[in-house]
Amino acid sequence: MAATESAMLPLGTIAPDFDLPDTVTGVNKSLQGLKGVKGTLVMFICNHCPYVQHIKSQLIDIADHYSSQGISFIAISSNDIVNYPQDAPDKMRGMMEEWGNPFAAYLYDETQEVAKAYQAVCTPDFFLFDAKLACVYRGRLDGSTPKNDMPLTGGDLRAALDNLMLGQPINPRQVPSIGCNIKWKA
């Protein structure tokens, strides 16, 4: 596990479109079909990452809370499944069943082109877009990691979501997420 920080997509960037298979339903889904009325959170995660497993409870709570308020939660895994078979689509579906299917979709980015378009480099990597799909937040959930004793609160992401919902400015000083590097294909 190589701890890697987010690349920090420039604020204001329009969310790159995609059309990827949803591992839960087996149906291809696009950004346009999944976007939220008030905003969209695109998250690059994977099954085996200890950083993702560490934030599981907060991520589910946040999705449960904000999904009903017009925010769409889209999870994407872009990992190489040849070398990391635990991140394969059937395992992704199983993880979502275990988590209670809290997201609009858990998509598989086989070509890794979507991760590259978003400049995603780690899991978890969060990208919050407003109703017009402009990036308003990219950064961490909060300061807690599996390697420190900081409480898991989701505070950084919750603050960005709350400000988006209230139509208030989101602090442009954002802290990169940290996690396992995306497992790129050779």
CA–CA distance, 55 with 142 (Å, rounded to integer): 9
Residue 77 belongs to a domain = yes
CA–CA distance, 127 with 134 (Å, rounded to integer): 10
Buried b (16+ CB within 10 A) or exposed e, 156-176: bbbebbebbeeeeebeeebeb
Residue position matching structure tokens 């997201």: 103
Amino acid identity of residue 69, one-letter, is Q
The pLDDT tens digits of the residues spanning 76-134 come to 999 999 999 999 999 999 999 999 999 999 999 999 999 999 999 999 999 999 999 99
CATH of the domain at 125: 3.40.30.10
Per-residue pLDDT at 2: 65
Which range of residues forms the domain containing residue 99? 3-181
**Strands 71-77 vs 135-139: parallel, antiparallel or unpaired:** unpaired
pLDDT-based confidence at residue 5 (cuts at 50, 70, 90): confident
The pLDDT tens digits of the residues spanning 127-183 come to 999 999 999 999 999 999 998 989 999 999 999 999 999 999 999 999 999 999 999
Q: Is the pLDDT of residue 1 over 70?
A: no
The pLDDT tens digits of the residues spanning 63-75 come to 999 999 999 999 9
- In order of 4, 51, 125, 146, 178, the CA distances from 1 in angstroms are 9, 10, 15, 12, 12
**Cα-to-chain-centroid distance, residue 112:** 15
Residue 186 belongs to a domain = no
Q: Is the pLDDT of residue 3 over 70?
A: yes
- Contact partners, residue 71, CB within 8 Å, separation at least 6: 36, 38, 39, 40, 41, 161, 164, 165
CA–CA distance, 135 with 10 (Å, rounded to integer): 7
Per-residue pLDDT at 4: 82
Per-residue pLDDT at 11: 96
The whole-model pTM stands at: 0.96
Q: How many of the other CB atoms lie within 10 Å of CB of 12?
A: 9
Residue 126 belongs to a domain = yes
Per-residue pLDDT at 186: 85
Total domains in the chain come to 1
Per-residue pLDDT at 73: 98
Helix 155-166 with 50-67: angle, nearest 10 deg: 20
Residue 103 belongs to a domain = yes
Decide: 105 and 75 in contact? Cβ < 8 Å: yes
